[in-house]
A = this chain, B = another copy of it.
Amino acid sequence: MLSNTEENYLKALLYLTTDEAGKKEAGTNDLAAHLGLKPATVNDMLKRLKEKAYVSYKKYGKITLTRAGRDIAVFVMRKHRLWETFLCEVLAFSWDEVHEVAEQLEHIQSDKLTERLDKFLNYPDYDPHGDPIPKPNGKMPPRATTLLSSVAIQQSCTVAAVKDTSSVFLQYLEQLSIGIGTKIRVMEKISFDGSVILQVGKEKITVSEKFANSLLVD
């Protein structure tokens, strides 16, 4: 059985080598930065994970997850997102508070618990941030890919996910009464700095380009 630490490495690798982080390959430094560790530390751990056949790489080369490694990482991600959903929907946590606790809960080892939790939550497809929750077979519901910034003027859309899950951003969204499912109409784009003027409910608000690049919509 894997340690929490090993699971965290695999999860970080999954993140770094999938769409989310942009790139398809990950190196020692990327991992170290993502996990808040030193490259030397990561290098040691990678040797162990390679030994156990969870990752694959050659000296000085890029790192990829093996099938076994990816399966574990996906399962940890499944647990993380199910717990985040539980915390929000059942225990009334706000969406900026759940991540830290889910980081711990994702390591609880009990298949029965995971499956019962999934059932209790009525088999959700997305977590509170709009991220897809992997199914028991490892398949993922489709992830929204359209950025708010790419929506044409006068078009309407629905918030599907947040690309940035930092507390500051999530709390700002809260303040603007924007959440998953909120309808937004793009009114105007300012060429000068990329700002966008949106219609949200009865309110007209102006947001930055950075903001418009951090929201995914349908």
Contact = CB atoms under 8 A, between A and B. Distances in A.
A60 to B, nearest CB: 36
Contacts of A109: 104
A113 interface: yes
Interface in A96-115: 97, 100-101, 104-105, 108-110, 112-113
A140 interface: no
B92 A101 contact: no
A101 B92 CA distance: 23
Q: How large is the interface on A (under 10, 10 to 19, 20 to 34, 35 or more residues)?
A: 10 to 19
A116 B93 contact: yes
A117 interface: yes
Given A97-B112, A112-B97, A91 B120 contact: yes
A37 to B, nearest CB: 19
A118 to B, nearest CB: 10
A104 B108 contact: yes
A63 to B, nearest CB: 29
A90 interface: yes
Given A91-B117, A91-B120, 16 more contacts: A87-B113, A90-B120, A91-B113, A91-B116, A93-B112, A93-B116, A97-B112, A100-B110, A101-B108, A101-B110, A101-B112, A101-B113, A104-B108, A104-B109, A104-B110, A105-B108
Lowest 7 A-B CB distances belong to which pairs? A91-B116, A101-B110, A104-B108, A101-B113, A91-B120, A105-B108, A90-B120
19 contacts: A87-B113, A90-B120, A91-B113, A91-B116, A91-B117, A91-B120, A92-B116, A93-B112, A93-B116, A97-B112, A100-B110, A101-B108, A101-B110, A101-B112, A101-B113, A104-B108, A104-B109, A104-B110, A105-B108
